[in-house]
Amino acid sequence: MNQEKSREAFNRAAKVIPGGVNSPVRAFKSVGINPVVIDYAKGTTITDIDGNQYIDFVSSWGPLILGHANESILEAIRETAVKGTSFGAPTILETEMAELIVQMVPSVDKVRMVNSGTEATMSVLRLARGYTKKDLVIKFTGNYHGHADSFLIKAGSGAITLGLPDSPGVTKATAKDTLLADYNELDSVELLLKKHQGEVAAIIVEPVAGNMGVVPPEKGFLEGLRKLADNYGALLIFDEVITGFRLAKGGAQEYYGVHPDLTTLGKIIGGGLPVGAYGGKAEIMDLLAPDGPVYQAGTLSGNPLAMAAGLAMLKALNETPGFYEALESKAARLENGLRENLEKTATPGVVNRVGSLLTLFFTQKEQVTSYDEAMASDTEKFANYFRHSLENGIYLAPSQFEAMFVSYAHTDEDIDKCIAASLEAMQKI
């Protein structure tokens, strides 16, 4: 597979962009090769600047649940763009988006649009502290909530992929306000709440961990968090930047039947354009300026292009009969194929899946339910697996600690090709 143009493009980028990329995991460092540079995409196929084609299971890290360059989304962007790309003023599109989110997400009465998932989580934490008048927040080791200072303490995703769980530049004063608990371990949460009784503003969690690989909540975990938050006077925040509108119309909170006080959203609600949002109970959201004293603002918040694309996306999810059932069927087909491949090749591994989110862990462990179990994975074996998959035309996230994203556009043929390429890769690693 010729990737000469991609190598040249990456070397060119490295001269003017730190690491040659604008988000660290894209650099492919953990898989030991230079990144491929993408030219265009359609449906489930992406094409690099050398003309190589791949079946994509990254989906821009989740937003493209309808596939690349979906025509209804492109048309919404075109119709909106000719009217102007940004006003820094209200538009009806913002209200329509907010109304649809409130309709679909069970716990949200009001919602504020922002420009990224990081901005959403950063802002929701300020709001939680302003509402409770408390300083401390509990997060979980291996959960990733964007790159705001408060969250870069034992973070997941790119931080652990690159071996950088804590970042220089985060002050001790900021770090001391973030308490670490163990995902799927309620006792670790209650110990912190007891030790810091009356000081914890919020518990923030990925309801399905997606940034140390896909790790589902164990039975009773989310329900237990809800109860602990109520008992100790803390807010419960679900970071649904990944799970929102992916597991169900109402996200993980509908899927599991547990409702948080506040929710962060992103990815899918932008239809592939930069976007974020946070919402929750009206009494909490009404503390935001201009109605209340908690300040947050953004020139491009509610950008009409992102709102138009997101509206087209959410309407498609909302109005397509059997959408999530079809997505479940596609993802189950992939899961079953990968499990069979592990058995056929006697490769030690675990496949974790929730809805259309899936991770294949190369590990001697019998299960992966925690950060420590995820960290026991064989990253060198994954890197070899990744490289063989790429050579066979399958584009995966270049990290053991990320998810595969199955889209509605993936066909049985796409999935079967992925399973076949996976089997060949396992036979070689």
Task: Give yes or no: 239 in active site.
Answer: yes
Q: Which is the catalytic residue, given 131, 144, 371, 385?
A: 144
Residue type, 318: N
Sign of CA dihedral 112, 113, 116, 117: positive
Q: Which is the catalytic residue, given 267, 371, 385, 395?
A: 267
Count of C-beta atoms within a 10 Å radius of residue 215: 29
Q: Which is the catalytic residue, given 239, 261, 378, 414?
A: 239
Task: Give yes or no: 267 in active site.
Answer: yes
- By DSSP bridging, strand 404-405 and strand 178-181 are unpaired
Residue 216 Cα to chain centre, angstroms? 14
Task: Give yes or no: 144 in active site.
Answer: yes
Burial (0-12, 13-18, 19+ Cβ within 10 Å), 348: middle
Residue 128 Cα to chain centre, angstroms? 21
In angstroms, the CA 333 to CA 406 distance is 10
Residue type, 127: L
Identify which of 285, 274, 210, 203 has the alpha carbon closest to the alpha carbon of residue 240: 210
Within 8 A by CB and 6+ apart from 322, the residues are none
Identify which of 339, 359, 349 has the alpha carbon closest to the alpha carbon of residue 404: 359
The set of catalytic residues is 144, 239, 267
